[in-house]
Amino acid sequence: MQRGHYLFGNHPWWLCCCVNSRQFCTSGDWHPHEGCKSKGNLYSGLTVATSTSHERRYYTNFMIFQDFIIRGGKKFPLYSCVMKGTSCKAIVIPATGDCLGVTLRDGDMSWKDFLSRAAGRSPMYSPVYQSADALINILFSSGTTGEPKAIPWTQLCPIRCGADTWANLDVRPKDISCLPTNLGWVMGPIQLFSCFLNGATLALYHGSPLGRGFCKFVQDAHVSALGSVPSLVKLWKAGNHTKGLDWTKIRVLATTGEASDIDDNLWLSSRTCYKPIVECCGGTELASSFIQGSLLQPQVFGAFSGASMSTGFVILDEQGNPYPDDVPCSGEVGLFPLYFGATDRLLNADHDKVYFDGMPVYRGRVWSLSPQFSI
């Protein structure tokens, strides 16, 4: 564990990320002396097809990833798999230990050799000033409704991440925050930026979060803010993995990614002397949640208590008309397009066509999250 501001101040931010990413790959134009000179891209769980597609579409200069993925005690080849589909230069990090478990192609290099190029240079770096809409990261949607969308994040996205976590989860300096995730899912960057900007400590566990080992880590690291996914909680409960462990240092819990189970939430809260669980629902395009629980309001398991800070949305009936705010209803959510931190472009699709075409007009334009999303 390290203090968030220490990591952020002394290393490239994605260098910190790779510590906890079992499915890690980044590409861009970065040099250890000069910092990031172009748009860095983070990918997770690459296949031959996706890596080749991303490289071709975004003119990748090089790729950084692990030699293997270690998951549940098993070792899965990553370097050999990705290299079948690309001629791009690779910089390879050992999944365990200091030595690579693969033989590199000509032109590729190990992470250790890459860093050695900075030997003798000053560890102090001057900041590089960019405009608010300058890109810092590219995340890809899951592709469940079509080809994965290449979603760029700007300088505003980290501010939104940190603000939401501060406002809804009360993350603060001296907190120790932990959320099992990877950098290919939106929660990876959200967790990193939230810790860095709010001064919290980022707790990193190298291994699978499915078993007792992770649960013991939460105890030993004195985690005070724990994020989870409902399916993880179900596994912890089924395996009784928290038996004999002390989770009373936790003062706030959060859950996202799936629909929550009320009984599982009750079990999880009981492990922490019934601390509140904040439900979160958002999207990669938003760099945040649009609807959440709040510690300023009474919380109910498996339910949201309101819109996130500065967010406006309506619930639409089948004719596209918004329901009144005080009427119980069921329908599709439409977001107001003025949304701090949300993307205003896609790299591989028409942004307006994806998010605005066919949506009813309400006080200007309404942004639909997804045709499948309803509340």
- Cα angle 136, 138, 142; round to 5: 155
pLDDT (tens digit per residue) in 130-169: 999 999 988 988 776 678 889 999 999 999 999 999 999 9
pLDDT digits (tens, 9 = 90+) for 323-362: 998 889 998 888 888 889 999 899 989 998 888 887 877 7
What tens digit of pLDDT does each residue of 39-93 get? 333 333 344 444 445 544 555 778 888 999 887 778 889 998 888 877 788 999 9
Mean pLDDT of the 105-109 span: 91
State the pLDDT confidence band at 180, using cuts at 50, 70 and 90: very high
Determine contact, residues 13/158, Cβ cutoff 8 Å: no
Query: Across residues 207-235, what is the average pLDDT?
Result: 95
Buried b (16+ CB within 10 A) or exposed e, 316-338: beeeeebeeeeeeeebbbbbbbe
Higher per-residue confidence, 358 vs 230: 230
Average pLDDT score over residue span 109-121:
89
Query: Rounded to whole angstroms, how far apart are CA atoms 189 and 286?
Result: 12
> What's the confidence (pLDDT) of residue 310?
87
Average pLDDT, the chain: 80
> What's the CATH class of domain 135-368?
alpha beta
DSSP 65-121: EESEEEETTEEEE-HHHHHTT--SEEEEE-SSSSS-SSPPPTT-EEHHHHHHTTTTS
3-state secondary structure of 177: strand
pTM (global) more than 0.85:
no
Which run of H or of E encompasses 367? strand 367-368
* Domain-wise residue ranges, the chain: 11-116, 135-368
pLDDT number for residue 63: 85
- On the question of pLDDT at 199 being above 60, the answer is yes
H-assigned helices in the chain = 4-10, 13-17, 48-58, 79-83, 111-116, 156-169, 187-198, 212-220, 230-238, 262-271, 351-355
Measured CA distances, 286 to 80, 188, 337 (Å): 34, 14, 11
pLDDT in tens, 242-253: 999 999 999 999
